[in-house]
Amino acid sequence: MSASSLVLASGNAGKLREFSHLLAPLGIEPMPQGQLGVSDAEETGLTFVENALIKARHAAEVTGLPALADDSGIEVDALGGEPGIYSARFAARRQQGSGDGDNNAALLAALEGVPEQARTARYWCVLVYLRHAADPVPIIVQASWEGRVLDAPQGEGGFGYDPLFWLPEHGMTAAALDAETKNRLSHRGRAMQQLLEALAAQSGQA
Ligand SMILES: O=P(O)(O)OP(=O)(O)OP(=O)(O)OC[C@H]1O[C@@H](n2cnc3c(O)ncnc32)[C@H](O)[C@@H]1O
Ligand SMILES: [Mg+2]
């Protein structure tokens, strides 16, 4: 991954903030796709992997640059794994609005009456790195982060479902963690660690 030329295939401001912190120590300043005129790709896949590949390939195609994409979401056991790959579209698919606030409200409504012990959930993050749009050997890594869905939002940090994502061993939500701690523990932070190791191993082979 070179310091100057990497397009980040995401339009999510929360993800972009986390990626810029995760990559800063390496001297990499990824360019958000929006700044390069790349529109959001249509996420037609049925898995995080497929959607991350679609997003990375689209950004690489439009810009001609290496691309990094993240497809992520929350899997809630009491909902049979939903919203999963549809996490960003959870409220919209139920005609309950759009955006983080509406998604959180829709998740709370879907879990109404479900007791604390049964509200187990995990975040998933799949990262795809493509050297170019036709790269036949994408680097694909994934990580998860276990928690529980709280019954009311708590905390001001993070983004998305973080105000509802309770971490029993920390006694707070992901939105109450400081940014550095979230990056160290999170699905995204640990997937990024794996990606960097894979890239280092690859450059050792070259
Ligand atoms: O596709 P891009 O442009 O990257 O942006 P997006 O927000 O649509 O991203 P996804 O399609 O990957 O959907 C991810 C969903 O899961 C949520 N999510 C993912 N990681 C999260 C995290 O670390 N904290 C809170 N919510 C998260 C996020 O809010 C979205 O609703
Ligand atoms: Mg998306």
- 183 is annotated as contributing to ligand binding: no
Domain that holds residue 109: 7-205
55 assigned to some structural domain: yes
Name the domain count of the chain.
1
Identify the CATH number of the domain in which residue 151 sits.
3.90.950.10
CA 71 to ligand 1: nearest atom: 12
Q: Is 20 annotated as a binding residue?
A: no
* Structural domain contains residue 150: yes
Does 1 fall in a domain? Answer: no
Query: Tens of pLDDT along 19-77?
Result: 999 998 888 889 999 999 999 999 999 999 999 999 999 999 999 999 999 999 999 99
Please indicate, yes or no, if residue 131 is contained in any of the structural domains.
Answer: yes
Q: Is 80 annotated as a binding residue?
A: no
75 lines ligand 1 (CB under 6 A): no
End-to-end Cα, the chain, rounded Å: 13
Question: Is residue 2 assigned to a domain?
Answer: no
Asked, for residue 192, whether it belongs to a domain, the answer is yes
Residue 157 lies in a domain: yes
Which tokens belong to 95? 């005609």
pLDDT at 194 over 80: yes
CB of 40 within 6 A of ligand 1: the answer is yes
Give the model confidence (pLDDT) of 153-177 as tens digits.
Answer: 999 999 999 999 999 999 999 999 9
List of residues 6+ apart from 72 with CB closer than 8 A: 15, 48, 87, 123, 124, 125, 126, 187, 188
CA neighbor of 52 nearest in space, from 196, 195, 149: 195
104 CB less than 6 Å from ligand 1?
Answer: no
Q: Is the CB of 162 under 6 A from ligand 1?
A: yes
71 is catalytic: yes
Give the model confidence (pLDDT) of 81-122 as tens digits: 999 999 999 999 999 999 999 999 999 999 999 999 999 999
Distance 201 CA to ligand 1 centre (A): 28
Q: Across all residues in the chain, what is the average pLDDT? A: 96
pLDDT, position 68: 98
